[in-house]
Amino acid sequence: MTEDMVLPAQHNPVTVGEPLLEVSGLTKYFPVKGGFPIRRTIGHVQAVDGIDLTVRVGESFGLVGESGCGKSTTGRLITRLLEPTNGSISYRGQDISHASRRELAPVRSEIQMIFQDPYSSLNPRQTVGKIISGPMEINGIEPDGGREKRVRELLEIVGLNPEHYNRFPHEFSGGQRQRIGVARALALEPKLIVADEPVSALDVSIQAQVVNLLQEVQRELGIAFLFIAHDLAVVRHFSQRVAVMYLGKIIEVGDREAIYTRPRHPYTHALLSAVPEVSLTDDGDSAGRERIRLAGDVPSPISPPSGCRFRTRCWKAQDKCATEEPPLVQISGNHAGHLTACHFPEDPTTEARDEDIVLDPALAALEEEG
């Protein structure tokens, strides 16, 4: 990325480190229909259940958790593709939780989304030029020198050949398509990008390149990111702060250092030990790491366990865990900003344990046989 390609200064500058997006008590319940002959609402999927988070100007915030824990729903609520059931979303001090289409218009261009699947998220019948200039067209934005010039600049910023302006998505590889998605997200000079598993559909060999591009964009253009991933390996090099989600709740949040070296929640420990270091990491030394394997599946978000939602899979669960929901707070021993929702937290270390903790009895039995 060359210097003259840096996006022009924003009209209403906000200072790095200030809160950009503040989410409080955010909740999304999807109705579950059933019954015959009259279909009624018979329950709710508690996809996101009262989460708080703050993304600061220019910061990269990682949101991590297993499949189905509510990460995409959170991203879609923030970008207002979904209407929240409860709670508030405030962007630069303005409450946008239930803002109308018209009220949202100026904010919409500042918050953009990059999707997981670079195949389905690009219209196959449109040229790359048309796709990338789409957001400018919709918002009636005519950059200096015209839209085509701007698209060529954007193509160059994301590492694609500006001459490929007239090509169609199928002429590009998966990694290149995701670069097109990034260019489209950059077209309106956003201040916040919600990237929903932007590399998990890509070949491992090209994941790092796309992560590097996003990192460059984040740093050089000062764009804040909410980076969604299902494991901790990808966000490790990308996010200054990380929140871990489980069944619709944030169970631990802190700066990168705290989450990776001093995790307190058993689930964060499990995620850290279950995830193999992937090629994205250059300092991945997993030798001597404790190994915890999680038993069973994530319970249904239609009727989550009482008290602590992780208790059905937790090796430290006691009676209190079933009756009292642990609040997300700064527990004793944590530094400021490191919050954990657990009654019986782990020690703040990832030191090797002598034994392998195997939480799945079937797996343990198999290993004994073998």
Ligand X SMILES: Nc1ncnc2c1ncn2[C@@H]1O[C@H](COP(=O)(O)OP(=O)(O)OP(=O)(O)O)[C@@H](O)[C@H]1O
- Determine, following the binding rule CB under 6 A, whether residue 342 of this chain makes contact with ligand SF4: yes
Strand ordering across the sheet containing 86-91: 40-56, 19-34, 86-91, 94-95
Could you say which of 60, 73, 133, 239 contacts ligand X (CB under 6 A)?
73
Phi-psi region of 318 (alpha: psi -120 to 50; beta: other; left: phi over 0): beta
Which helix (H) or strand (E) segment holds residue 28: the answer is strand 19-34
- Determine, following the binding rule CB under 6 A, whether residue 317 of this chain makes contact with ligand SF4: yes
Q: Which is nearer to ligand X, 76 or 269 (CB)?
A: 76
Cis peptide before 37 (omega within 30 of 0): yes
3-class DSSP state for residue 36? coil
CB 225 within 8 A of CB 218: yes
Q: What is d(CA 363, CA 27) in angstroms, rounded to the nearest whole number?
A: 36
- Determine, following the binding rule CB under 6 A, whether residue 266 of this chain makes contact with ligand SF4: yes
Binding mask 228-267 for ligand X (x = CB under 6 A): --x-------------------------------------
Stretch near ligand X under the rule CB under 6 A, chosen from 18-26, 62-70, 96-104, 274-282: 62-70
Task: Report in angstroms how near the CB of residue 273 gets to ligand SF4 at its nearest.
Answer: 15
Task: Report in angstroms how near the CB of residue 51 gets to ligand SF4 at its nearest.
Answer: 17
Stretch near ligand X under the rule CB under 6 A, chosen from 36-44, 60-68, 90-98, 359-367: 60-68
Strand partners, 194: 113, 226
The alpha carbon of residue 53 and the mean position of all alpha carbons in its chain are separated, in whole angstroms, by: 12
The radius of gyration of the chain's CA atoms, rounded to the nearest angstrom, is 22
- Residue 310 site contact among ligand X, ligand SF4, Mg ion, none (CB < 5 to 8 Å, cut-off depends on kind): ligand SF4
Could you say which of 72, 79, 121, 133 contacts Mg ion (CB under 5 A)?
72
Q: What is d(CA 201, CA 189) in angstroms, rounded to the nearest whole number?
A: 25
Footprint on this chain of Mg ion (rule: CB under 5 A) = 72
Footprint on this chain of ligand SF4 (rule: CB under 6 A) = 265-266, 308, 310-311, 314, 316-317, 321, 326, 342-344
